[in-house]
Structure 1
Amino acid sequence: MTQSFRKTLGGYDPRAGRNAHEANRPTLIPVPSLLRSLLTEHLDPGYAAAAEARRVNEAAGRVRPWWQAWAWQLAGAALLVAVFAVAMAQARATAPGVRETQQVLADSVRTAETEATAATDRRDELAAQVDTERRSRLEGDARGQQLLRQLDEAGFAAAATPVIGPGLTITVTEPGASANLSDVSKQRLPGNRQVILDRDLQLVVNWLWASGAEAVSVGGVRIGPNVTIRQAGGGILVDNQPISSPYQVLAVGPSHTMQDVFDRSPGLQRLRLLEASYGVGVSVSAGDAVTLPAGSVRELNFAEPIGP
């Protein structure tokens, strides 16, 4: 057998495993070894064939002139330059339109925010008028006073009334920009320098409720039914309203009891861990006149089946 045939079989001798001297012994057929082939033949067959073809062409004098290789390279470079030139021309042509579209969108957003603020103020004004008229009509008899008490209790449970009383103020401040925060290991979200996340504020609010709080607000937004604290990219939304650092969490309730429980809670422990690890500012203080705003009240619609 030739050496090339042995290589075809993966390095095995074709006669290996055969026994022609002992009777009644099986004749073994050699099987190529893939592992042996990988260990002995380091060059891919395709590359080997290309190298062999190049060697044959060089031996026969069929060598491609050097200027052909340079011509292909110059043609590729010219094509790249043309593509970049066309892209830059298109970008310059569309830049004014893009800026104009951005300006229009920004103006639309500002207009919508102004209209939403005006509508909210008008709603609050009308709600105050309705409350005043309702109290003036119901305070005259015992039945009306009982209804007012029930309405007040329902409004407080729905966070629809402002609250003032003793409580706690927790202020959480994002750390300032520093070289350490540019390290990926110092980022809680990949590619984001924000340290305080929605789950941190959620944990604080939950433990304030567990500590005995009767009303809570975050960033000036009252926490009530259907109010969520969630992450939105690099910001935090409370009831779909963006809040920014410093994040102020207010809780009305028995301040001393609340502080004793909250000081030992996982909510404050997480804030202290962020303070030690990232430089987050954490402040907890008790007060006698903590003021919380009223929350927004939404109408609840219920679907009912039609027919029998």
Structure 2
Amino acid sequence: MRTALLFTAGLTAAAVALPALAEYPDKPVTIIVPFAAGGPTDKVARDLAEALRKPLGGTIIIENVGGVGGTLGANKVAKASPDGYTLLLHHIGLASASALYRNLPYKTLEDFEYLGMVNEVPMTLIGRPNLPAANYAELAKWMEANKGQINLANAGVGSASHLCGLLFQSAVKIDMTTVPYKGTAPAMNDLLGSQVDIMCDQTTNTSGQIESGKVKAYAVMSSKRLSSGPLAKLPTADESGLKGFNLAVWHGLYAPKGTPKAVVDKVNTALRAALKDADFHKRQEALGAVIVNDARLAPAEHKKFVEAEINKLTPVIKAAGQYAD
């Protein structure tokens, strides 16, 4: 009798849970952006939210939880209720945090459900306006002649420009004085004012300055040239002589570990539809971003990709000895 009663209770609970799951979302879904409003990741999130509303069938709210290189916002999602109502839109920093932070409050590969990749934003190598190098070949000679005197700006520890700078130094085998700033804007201001020499940052932050001729542009750090926009004529690092250098700031969507598979599947289906939205494509193209359209749209492949990125970035970060508490 006891067994029968437990079985009946289980059926009743399931009967109650299934309709509730089928109605997801029946209240607003919050996407946490682990950076300040107005930045490139915030822009991607807001564009994506607009494209997601119809296929997901609900209201989407963007909440900015910046600080500590994106780890505060990521941790908030990792610790949130796994019901599909709190999601995370993060970039390559999710992969680098494992090596950068000694006391990371979450486990990147264990504390999230991976929902699918969104886009990739190529990095660009730029220099101060009065730098005496017109192309990458000349820049390489200048760097060789000025070893120990080169100032490399970035937007702060854990930022995309920080990672690109570390990888760039490793690739050219030249140590530079890393100058971290509290964001891209102050770093760019000092580059424009020739207070620092070079910076490696994403097209969302550099295309306007490149197009206006206010900085020297040397290469786009992607496997192939951009197909359109103001940077279409900018050669790749590989074309310029920096063989094999390829780095993009990718964005992905995540939920707390334990989110029901039915919810994961519904968000993934909605994401795939959103990435085909014409307006979303136009907005992303204007930022120099490339919409993901490959196996990484699947949660399992998304997770494999992030794991591979962790394995790629960790040795470089450890070799540089640039940790954060």
Does TM-score exceed 0.5, indicating one fold? no
- TM-score (structure 2 length as normaliser): 0.21
| Greater helix proportion | 1
Larger gyration radius, structure 1 or structure 2: 1
- TM-score (structure 1 length as normaliser): 0.22
